[in-house]
Every structure is written in C-alpha cells, then in structure tokens.
C-alpha cells in the first residue's frame, strides 16, 4: 500500500491507497491531464474503510480517458460516456473515471442535462454533500477540501457544498441520499438541509422508482435505519416514498388509549435489526426483507382502526390489510416479485403467534405455522420477538417465554418429523395409481386431503395413508360416477335389460 500524510488543522490522516491508484494517476499526469480520487472513497479513507469501487474525476475528455486506459485496464466499458463516465476493471477494482462536469435537472425531467467543466473545485461544488466533495490529487496525494468536508465529517454533520436548494434542484434524489447517509453514517442533517428537504419534498416525484428504491434499500440496511426513516417522515419525503409509514403517525389519538404505532414500528425495526445474525447465522445481516417487514408490519392499522364500546381500540385484520398495502407499495417501487412476496408474507403472518401463550396450540397448529412460514421461518421468529415493545415487563416476559416454548416445540417436532417440508404421505403418482385416476383437479383434491391429514396427525405409514385416502374417495361424487360406469357388479337399468340380448335369444 502507498502512504501519504496529510496535515490539517483538525488531525493527521495516514492515507493508504492501493498502488493501482497511484499508477493510474501517473498515467494521466504523464499525458498532461489531472486525475483525482474523489467522493466516497476519499470519505472512507477518513473512516478507515476501503472499497473495491473507486471513483475518479479528471479534466480529460471521455475520448482521452479511453485512449489512456484501454491497454492498461483489464477491461473497460463506455455505457456512461454520455455523462462523461468511462468504467473499467483493474486488479480486482471496479473503477469509474468521470470528466469534470456541471450537472442539472430540468424541472420536469428525470434525466440530467450534462455539461463538462474544466475545474476540480467547480466539479466538487456540484457534488451532493461536503463529506463527498473531497478529492485526493494523484499521484501527489494532495487533499483538496474546499467546502469543509473533513470538518463536517468529524462533526458528524451532513451539509451541502453550496445552497441545499440548488443541490436538490440539480438532483432531487440527493434528498433520499441525505436520509441514507443519516442511516449509514449516523450523521445529523444540518438545519438548512432539513429545511430544503421539507420545502422540496414533492420534487422527489420526478425521480424514477428504481433509483428511489435503491436508496431506500441502502437506508433500511444502514447501521441506524430508524434515524433515516424518521428523517424521511419528518421532512415529508415519506409522503411520496412511503406514505403508509407516514400514516402511522395518525394512530396516536388524543386520549392516548393505545401506543404510538409509528414509534412502535421504528422500535420494532431497530429490534429486528439487532436480532440479525452474522454471515454464519440463520439470518445474515443486514437483511432487507426482515427489516422492511418490521417497518411495514402495522401499516394496515390506519385502515382498520375501530373504537370499541368502553374506549378500547381494535385493528382487526390489520395484518391482512397491511400485507396488501405492502405489496402495492413495493410494486410501485419496482421491487422484484420474490422480495415483495417475502416481505408481504411476513407482514401477513406477524400476528399468527399471538394467543399461543393463552390457549396453547395443538401439534397440528405448530405444523401449520412452520409450513405457512416456509423458508421465512427464521425471519418470522425474529419479527415476532421484535414486535414486543411493551414497557410492562411481566407481559414482555410472558410473551418471550411463550415464544421460547413455541420454538422448543418446533424443534421437538423437527426431531420426529420432516417439518421443514411437510408433504402428504402419498405423492401424486401414488394417488393416481391407487384410485385409477388421470391427472386433473380430482388428484389435487386428494393431495390436499392427505396434506390435511398429515398436518393434523403427523406422519402416517403407507397402509394407514392408503386406507384414509380410500375412505375419503368413497365419499366423492367422482367415485360414485366411476363405479356406476365401470363396476361389473352394478345392477343394470331396466333399459339395459330390455335392449341387451340374452344368451337364450342369440
């Protein structure tokens, strides 16, 4: 690694960069151009972090950049050429080199209008936040920090290089990025930035759903997701990005007859994140599916709130309503179908456990719980445990002990049965052979019957399963029809007798 000490009025930083960075810088300087490491990679040097993704800025045009790197890079691509960006791979690094530029959004357009610049300082001015508006000139390793990025990083403050209104007008997605950095880095947003986000929140609507989604995922998976979500809600951005979460604030009524559902949801999000395991565990963190389900688990409450006689408040079926609202929101944000189904299923199942501690469950109910959760079971365990935010320690302990008991019963049944893949004791081919059926809906009904038997009674031996299947089949209308048409013992109808020749009449 290459080293350089950069003294500032705040501290001394020991910058360590890979030799490939200095080698690339030397190539540009030898050709009469400037090259600087810029943005996140520079910020991360101060945070003691490294990344395989490196961003550079230069006064060279895209054509000049290609000429300098095409034989040096392992491979390169020009997908971002229209924006002044050339991408490449070298020695395991993914590298982007972008020509100095000024970038602005047309007020009614999602696409930026690009103009190339000629100054590093001007290029840094157009970047999103001061902590990302620092550069290291190469190969000299000179720190360029015209807008106080080091100062703000040490103060844990998020500020813009210029007026925040101008920055967010250039790219409204930067308002989402502010919330994302608040989550990832734990930084506080400066007051003028917060005010601008509030005034300009509606402008996020011109940004594509995919870009908003990507920032939201990074926010939810950050170290401080509660801070990021709270910033979205407080500034009004959530009204356009996650209105269902903003609506949770309406659940706090003036008589305080039930808990603040919005704050409860943020606490559940925090607690779910804390229950994630590392990469060797059952739910490696950060896990977006678990975290987003925790955030969205109660979004069905505003639509289902009812004030009962005596002052009680109910939210009947808010789990089902919430699952539908979650699905709709995630589709709007262009999430993939598998992620949508997983999050919505957790929202739908999050209430299933309640009542277990009071009434207890049969083995059949435990099997159904595991089967309905399927591959989401470990996440459901964590979501259900996280959903306890009561200050009543006795109630919290009771719920915790009850869930401990449920998990113990699941483990015990797993020892006795193939609980992770509950299937009927006879498969479709065996059902068709026994009942002399062809593929069709009747086979599906028979399969469902045996699955119910498996759920209720646990594993059956083949003879018992066959006996139960035949008893069920005897009561089906198709069985009666089949017997009437093919059984040689069926009595003949009068018409059959009259029209069929007898042996004597032949």
Which secondary structure element, helix H or strand E, spans residue 188, and what is its range?
A: strand 188-189
> What CA–CA distance (Å, rounded) separates 68 from 85?
14
- Tokens representing 481 are 């029809």
Q: Cα dihedral sign for 312, 316, 321, 326?
A: positive
Let me know if residue 495 belongs to a domain.
no
Question: Do the Cβ atoms of 258 and 305 come closer than 8 Å?
Answer: no
Let me know if residue 415 belongs to a domain.
yes
> What CA–CA distance (Å, rounded) separates 208 from 455?
46
* Shared domain check, 208 and 330: no
> What CA–CA distance (Å, rounded) separates 95 from 35?
13
437: left (phi over 0), alpha (psi -120 to 50) or beta: beta
Question: Do the Cβ atoms of 24 and 58 come closer than 8 Å?
Answer: no
* Shared domain check, 442 and 394: no
Beta strands in 309-418 (DSSP E): 313-314
* Shared domain check, 165 and 149: no
The whole-number pLDDT of residue 3 equals 41
Beta strands in 258-359 (DSSP E): 306-307, 313-314
Q: Which of 190, 217, 241 is the last residue of a domain?
A: 241
Q: Is the peptide bond before 429 cis (omega within 30 degrees of 0)?
A: no
Q: Which of 153, 177, 199 is the last residue of a domain?
A: 153
Burial of 324 (0-12, 13-18, 19+ CB in 10 A): middle
Domain boundaries, position 400: 273-421
Biggest alpha carbon–alpha carbon distance for the chain: 122
Q: pLDDT 10s per residue in the chain (506 long)?
A: 344 434 343 344 567 889 999 999 999 999 999 999 999 999 999 988 888 899 999 999 999 999 999 999 999 999 999 889 999 999 999 999 999 986 555 666 656 566 787 899 999 999 999 999 999 999 999 999 999 999 999 999 999 999 999 999 989 999 999 999 999 999 999 999 999 999 999 999 999 999 999 999 999 999 999 999 999 999 999 999 999 999 998 645 444 444 589 999 999 999 999 999 877 688 998 999 999 999 999 999 998 888 888 778 878 899 999 999 999 999 999 999 999 999 999 999 999 988 676 667 888 888 889 888 989 999 999 999 999 988 889 888 888 888 898 988 888 887 776 655 567 778 888 888 888 888 888 888 888 888 888 777 777 888 888 888 888 888 888 876 666 555 444 444 433 333 333 333 33
Let me know if residue 219 belongs to a domain.
yes
Q: Which of 96, 121, 153 is the last residue of a domain?
A: 153
Let me know if residue 350 belongs to a domain.
yes
SS3 category, 75: strand
DSSP 400: H
Let me know if residue 9 belongs to a domain.
yes
Let me know if residue 263 belongs to a domain.
no
How big is the chain by its Cα radius of gyration, in Å?
A: 32
Spatial neighbors of 143 by CB under 8 A, at least 6 apart, are: 6, 8, 13, 15, 42, 134, 135, 136, 150
Phi, psi at 12, each rounded to 5°: -110, 130
The whole-number pLDDT of residue 417 equals 66
* Shared domain check, 144 and 9: yes
The whole-number pLDDT of residue 322 equals 97
* Shared domain check, 326 and 214: no
* Shared domain check, 401 and 458: no
Phi, psi at 439, each rounded to 5°: -55, 140
* Shared domain check, 161 and 149: no
* Shared domain check, 280 and 371: yes
* Shared domain check, 42 and 185: no
The CATH number of whichever domain residue 208 belongs to comes to: 1.10.110.30
Rounded to 10 deg, the angle between the 288-296 and 377-386 helix axes is: 40
The whole-number pLDDT of residue 14 equals 60
* Shared domain check, 141 and 1: yes
Let me know if residue 494 belongs to a domain.
no
* Shared domain check, 329 and 412: yes
Q: How many domains are there within the chain?
A: 4
Let me know if residue 53 belongs to a domain.
yes
* Shared domain check, 232 and 138: no
């Amino acid at each position: 690694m290459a080293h350089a000490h950069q003294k500032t009025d705040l501290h001394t930083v020991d910058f360590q960069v890979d030799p490939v960075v200095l080698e690339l810088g030397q190539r540009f300087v030898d050709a009469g151009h400037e090259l600087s490491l810029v943005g996140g990679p520079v910020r991360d040097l101060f945070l003691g972090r490294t990344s395989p993704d490196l961003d550079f800025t230069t006064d060279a045009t895209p054509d000049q950049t290609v000429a300098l790197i095409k034989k040096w890079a392992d491979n390169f691509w020009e997908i971002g050429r229209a924006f002044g960006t050339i991408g490449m791979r070298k020695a395991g690094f993914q590298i982007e080199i972008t020509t100095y530029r000024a970038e602005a959004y047309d007020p009614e357009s999602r696409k930026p209008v690009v103009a190339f610049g000629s100054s590093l300082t001007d290029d840094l001015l157009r970047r999103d936040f001061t902590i990302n508006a620092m550069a290291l000139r190469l190969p000299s390793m000179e720190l360029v920090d015209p807008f106080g990025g080091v100062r703000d990083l040490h103060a844990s403050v998020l500020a813009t290089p210029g007026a925040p209104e101008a920055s967010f007008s250039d790219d409204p997605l930067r308002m989402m990025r502010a919330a994302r950095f608040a989550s990832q880095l734990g930084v506080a947003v400066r007051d003028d930035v917060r005010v601008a986000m509030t005034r300009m929140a509606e402008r996020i609507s011109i940004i594509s759903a995919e870009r908003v989604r990507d920032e939201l995922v990074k926010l939810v998976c950050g170290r401080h997701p509660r801070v990021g979500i709270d910033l979205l809600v407080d500034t009004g951005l959530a009204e356009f990005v996650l209105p269902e979460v903003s609506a949770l604030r309406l659940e706090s009524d003036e008589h305080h007859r039930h808990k603040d559902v919005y704050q409860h949801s943020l606490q559940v999000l925090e607690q779910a994140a804390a229950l994630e395991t590392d990469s060797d565990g059952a739910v490696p963190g950060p896990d977006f599916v678990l975290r987003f389900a925790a955030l969205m688990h109660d979004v069905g409450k505003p639509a289902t709130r009812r004030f009962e006689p005596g002052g009680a408040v109910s939210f009947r079926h808010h789990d089902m309503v919430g699952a539908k609202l979650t699905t709709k929101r995630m589709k709007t944000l262009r999430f993939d179908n598998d992620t949508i189904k997983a999050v919505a299923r957790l929202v739908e199942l999050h209430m299933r456990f309640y009542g277990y501690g009071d009434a207890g469950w049969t083995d059949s109910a435990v099997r159904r719980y595991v089967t309905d959760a399927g591959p989401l079971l470990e996440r459901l365990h964590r979501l259900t445990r996280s959903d306890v935010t009561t200050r009543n320690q006795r109630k919290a302990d009771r719920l915790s002990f009850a869930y401990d008991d449920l998990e113990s019963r699941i483990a015990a049944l797993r020892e006795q049965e193939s609980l992770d893949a509950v299937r009927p004791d006879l498969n479709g081919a065996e059902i068709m052979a026994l009942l002399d059926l062809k593929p069709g809906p009747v086979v599906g009904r028979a399969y469902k019957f045996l699955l119910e038997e498996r759920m209720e009674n646990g594993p059956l031996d083949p003879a018992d399963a066959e006996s139960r299947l035949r008893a069920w089949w005897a009561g089906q209308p198709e069985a009666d029809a089949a017997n009437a048409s093919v059984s040689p013992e069926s009595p003949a109808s009068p018409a059959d007798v009259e029209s069929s020749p007898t042996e004597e009449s032949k």
